[in-house]
Chains A and B, each alone.
Chain A
Amino acid sequence: MLGKKDSKKDDESGGSNPFKNLEKASVLQETRTFNETPINAKKCCLILTKILYMINQGEHLAPTEATQAFFAMTKLFQCKDVMLRRMLYLCIKEMANIANDVIIVTSSLTKDMTGKEDIYRGPAIRALCRITDNTMLQSIERYMKQAIVDKSRSVSSAALVSSLHLMKQGPEVVKRWVNEVSEAVNSDNVMVQYHALGLLYQIKKNDKLAITKLVSKFSKSSLRSPYAYCFLIRVAAHQLEEEKDGFDKTLFDFIESCLRHKSDMVIYEAASAIVSLKCTTSKELVSAVGVLQLLCSSPKPSLRYAAVKTLNKISITHPAAVTACNIDLENLITDQNRSIATLAITTLLKTGNESGVDRLMKQIASFMSEISDEFKIVVVDAIQSLCLKFPRKHNVMMSFLASMLREDGGFEYKKAIVNTIIAIIEENPEAKESGLSHLCEFIEDCDFLPLATRVLHLLGREGPRTTTPAKYIRYIYNRVILESAEVRAAAVSALAKFGASSDDLLPSILVLLNRSKLDEDDEVRDRATFFYDILSQNDKALSSAYILNTLNVSPVSLERALLQYNQSVTEKPFDIKVVPTIEVTESHKPSAETSLPKTVKPTDKPAASRQDLYSEQLSAIPEFAHLGPLFKSSAPVDLTEPETEYSVKCVKHTFTNYIVFQFDCLNTLNDQLLEKVVVKMDTADGYEIISYKTCPKLPYNTPGVAYTLVKIPEDPSQVVATFGCNLKFVVKDCDPNTGEPDNEEGYQDEYGLENVEVTVSDHVQKVLKPNFGASWEEVGAENELEDTYALSMPSLEEAIKNIIQFMGLQPCERTERPPEGKNTHVLLMAGIYRGGHDVLVRAKLAYNDGGVAMQLTIRSSDSIVPQVIAQAVG
């Protein structure tokens, strides 16, 4: 009984950390002990441990204090205690980049690495290479060369691996050791051979021919080390991937021959390399998959795991090949090792047919609780791809996901499930109601704030459009009562969206919001008050603008614009239109953060968008400072063919009344220096060229920028234009090595570029309206334009793609994907026209043999804009 008690006590003390309460100042004070003679090895060891612990915990040591401690440490070299010496090496390595003048121990370390004590030599080499910088490398070169070919394997390996690290700072010096390294490759020791081969590869890495030679040389002479073989296979596979044209048969044959090696490791590596190669044909695949199949029934779990993991990885790219292993995979479902079983099942799920899904899902459900989160995520991913493949199976999947949601799990795991459910809802309208109700249930008991707010945001967006929106309100309001401030705020926003979308629910929502007006948190209270007032106006246009389709500006630009406004003395109210709108990203995943800026930690600032960067660059140029806010920047367009003498890319920056063309130029001739580079433009389409900004110097391979400023015509209906472009510059011939021009006098030259087109889409910025209908009513029929067109397009998809591209508007409510098998479709698009006018487009499309008929309705807050937009189609 007594013994039991003691062991328990031990457990407890083992759990606590003896170094938990270390203080930097006192530890540094303790380093004075190092100066005492004779040295107390045990005590010094403990102090060194403390220093190591501190550094690894991220404690910052100032250079002076680190240097002081380091020099105290140097005294410890006089002690012969083995433990202390090895601890000292560790400390030197850790402090190498913190303290100054660490080269002070160079001689001490070279003495150890050439000494008689083998136990010191390896660690001394490693420490020496850490403290050696580029200038000092030559002084230790002699010792390193000797060590590489040393008889002791630990010394040789240490020198080789350290040289690998030295390659980063002084590749030139290390390259001189190639003879010694080649000698080490012939070592009898497996590790030395492996390390030497690795270093040899690094030395020759940039020389393709040398690498090919290297592989063919060592593939013939049989290496002893299986590790070296694996490395060689990787090199060969990499080499094959790199080769764009032509397929090196010898390299592939080498990998193929490794499938028959006697070591399991090599066999697996070769099979894995073959199946991952892009250029592998199905015939070559067969033998590799055959090997993996054999490994699947190996008695060693690690081999089974590796094989099934590889099969899982390629189940998408080569489903047919994997199907051949189905029987073996079936056997692995009941494997003792749950990781193997999980991978086997998910592989089968990915490659299997619809009928097998139920059985497999049942199987995996039986041990879901036994596997780690990481593998649970693998299962979730498999389910997601399965749902896309077999939409009709969503019931089974959904209930499975729901049961997974109910179990315990970490944030990443839960996030994966929620993501999957949301993805399924978006892909498959039939699954929406059941998915939403599962998510509702989830947030009833959810510990993860970001997920709760995200689900609430989704409910606010999707809930009002379901058949019975009222049932979600209870779930949301429960959050208002029970949760923390962030979730309450998100819930209030979601409630408001229900109120704005449904007249029936409006009175009840008003009652609920009224209660939140007394909330203790500022944000929640503010939101409730704001939404309450808007909703009680009962004005559709207001609700649409402020609740359903909110601001679309990028937070970074908004912050900058507000700062500028605050600094300037002006009577004018702040104009939100000067803030560039956020670029709509391609993925349609709703982000939780947008609904709740407060949850974003102050440290991770939202990244500035591409446009924000341009905006900052342009406003720094005095000529363009008066142009006002940047409205839109186009994607770069190439004005030259690839691999010509000069490469020019054009980016169009649209302002309210001007367009700035930015020409990113690159000079690819190393014997020329270009000066006064400018792109001359001319046009007949009413645009007026105001000024050019030249790029003063364009040396070889250094990008330079030239700008051209043009004024957009006064006539608002004239927007489309074509510009002819010519690159003009002064050429000076120069020395390719130094880049210095041969003589001061250059000659004028010019270079023809392709035309630049300004299209309607350059005048329009995409804006995503989550609730298109409400915005449509908000803008009203005042400036409506309606027309019908006949488009000669082969399919609805093609027509939709082209319309979106020409108009440059953002498709809304996922109408850019027409339902399969239907001949009619309604495409909804939204955007902002230059000058800040909303544009909304509804295109009714009908396909009948060989053509698409389109009825186009355009609404805008400006009378001219619909005509301009219609031009894009004409």
Chain B
Amino acid sequence: MGLLEKIESLLGGRKKDFNILVIGLDNSGKSTILNNLKTKDTKVATINPTVGFNQEKINFQSVNFNFFDMSGQSRYRSLWEHYYKESNAIIFVIDSSDRMRFVVSNEELADVVNHAEIKNKDIPLLILANKKDVKGAASENEIKNELEINRIKGRNCKVYSTNGLSGEGINEALEWLASEMKNLA
């Protein structure tokens, strides 16, 4: 730890890590979005389906994000809840071209926000409508309707359309999240 950083950490605030839980159905692009945020030398060429979870530490605009990238496969979704308690924010990723499974996403999201550990906890929810570049992808408003966003009361919630491969839209989304985190601190 350098002297400067030491002073900073003594002053508190800036160095705090925020635990961000990244969830969503399988093949929605969670690991890809996080991969896009990494620096060039840490990036991975191919993304494989996550088994269990991946853990990524990313500094974004002087906020330390600690992402828990969970596996979205149906048999592992039950493992999400183990991480609810320590999370400071939740990112829910949805594949906006996979119209068939909007219903499933809706159910999973409802389960998350109604979970005992989350329900009475004032943490922000960021919804990423990923794969917006795919032909026939649903728009932001469509996603809002499908996921019945207006049901979610009493917490800061925002929907952004993104493209995990090119990184389009991700920065705006994370900027919002970073400001939320700063307010929290």
Contact = CB atoms under 8 A, between A and B. Distances in A.
A101 B15 CA distance: 32
Nearest to A34: B86
B54 interface: yes
Interface string A61-75: 000000000010011
A107 B53 contact: yes
A64 to B, nearest CB: 12
Contacts of B82: 71, 74, 101, 104
Interface string B68-112: 000100001011001101100000000000000000000000000
Contact of B54 (A71, A101, A103, A107): A107
B86 A107 contact: no
B51 A37 contact: no
Contacts of A110: 51
A459 to B, nearest CB: 67
Given A35-B86, A38-B17, A101-B79, A106 B57 contact: no
Nearest to B88: A37
Instruction: Identify the interface centre among B15, B52, B71, B82: most chain A CB within 10 Å of its CB.
Output: B52
A624 B147 CA distance: 70
B156 interface: no
A75 B15 CA distance: 18
Contacts of B55: 74, 77-78, 108
Contacts of B19: 37
A110 B85 CA distance: 26
Interface string B25-59: 00000000000000000000000001111110100
A82 interface: no
Contact of A108 (B15, B54, B85): B54
B57 A78 contact: yes
Nearest to A114: B44
Contacts of A139: 51
Interface in A120-166: 136, 139
A37 B16 contact: yes
Nearest to B83: A71
Contacts of B54: 107-108, 111
Contacts of B86: 35, 75
Nearest to B57: A78
Interface in A59-102: 71, 74-75, 77-78, 101
Interface residues of A, number: 19
Given A37-B16, A37-B17, A104 B52 contact: yes
A36 to B, nearest CB: 9
Contacts of A104: 52-53, 76, 79, 82
Contacts of B16: 37
Contacts of A101: 78-79, 82
A35 B53 CA distance: 16
Contacts of A854: none
A136 B51 CA distance: 9
Nearest to A75: B86
Given A78-B55, A78-B57, A78-B66, A107 B17 contact: no
A105 interface: yes
Contacts of A74: 53, 55, 82
Nearest to B78: A101
B20 to A, nearest CB: 12
A104 B78 CA distance: 11
A168 B16 CA distance: 46
Nearest to A105: B52
A101 B52 CA distance: 9
B48 to A, nearest CB: 8
A92 to B, nearest CB: 11
A106 B66 contact: no
Nearest to A74: B53
B17 A103 contact: no
Contacts of A103: 51-52, 76
A79 to B, nearest CB: 10
A106 B51 contact: yes
Interface string A292-317: 00000000000000000000000000
B66 A37 contact: yes
A106 B53 CA distance: 7
Nearest to B71: A107
A578 B53 CA distance: 66
B57 A108 contact: no
A139 B73 CA distance: 13
Contacts of B83: 71
A591 to B, nearest CB: 55
B49 to A, nearest CB: 8
Nearest to A142: B48
B132 to A, nearest CB: 26
B55 to A, nearest CB: 5
Nearest to A109: B52
Contact of B52 (A35, A38, A78, A108): A108
Contacts of B78: 101
Contact of A107 (B15, B51, B66, B85): B51
A107 B57 contact: no
Contacts of A77: 55
A110 B51 CA distance: 9
A75 B66 CA distance: 10
Contact of A106 (B17, B52, B85): B52
Interface string B1-32: 00000000000000111010000000000000
Nearest to B56: A78
A377 B69 CA distance: 61
Contacts of A71: 82-83
Nearest to A140: B51
Max count, chain A CB within 10 A of own CB: residue among B17, B51, B57, B85: B51
Nearest to A67: B82
Contacts of A106: 51-52
A104 B54 CA distance: 9
A101 B75 CA distance: 10
Nearest to A110: B51
Contacts of B76: 103-104
Nearest to B66: A78
B79 A107 contact: no
Contacts of A108: 52-55
Contacts of B50: 107
A139 B17 CA distance: 32
Nearest to A106: B51
A77 B57 CA distance: 11
Contacts of A37: 16-17, 19, 66
A535 B79 CA distance: 76
B23 to A, nearest CB: 14
A95 to B, nearest CB: 14
Interface string B103-144: 000000000000000000000000000000000000000000
A814 B132 CA distance: 95
Nearest to B17: A37
A110 B47 CA distance: 13
Which of the listed residues A37, A105, A110, A139 has the most CB atoms from chain B within 10 Å of its own CB? A37
A35 B68 CA distance: 13
Nearest to B70: A104
Contacts of B15: 38
Nearest to A76: B55
A774 B71 CA distance: 82
Given A78-B55, A106-B51, A107-B52, 9 more contacts: A37-B16, A74-B53, A101-B78, A104-B79, A105-B53, A108-B53, A108-B55, A111-B54, A136-B51
Interface of A: 35, 37-38, 71, 74-75, 77-78, 101, 103-108, 110-111, 136, 139
Q: Which 6 A-B residue pairings sit nearest by Cβ, starting from the closest?
A: A106-B51, A104-B52, A37-B17, A71-B82, A106-B52, A35-B86
30 contacts: A35-B85, A35-B86, A37-B16, A37-B19, A38-B15, A71-B82, A71-B83, A74-B53, A74-B55, A78-B55, A78-B57, A78-B66, A101-B78, A103-B52, A103-B76, A104-B76, A104-B79, A104-B82, A105-B53, A106-B52, A107-B50, A107-B51, A107-B53, A107-B54, A107-B71, A108-B53, A108-B54, A108-B55, A110-B51, A111-B54
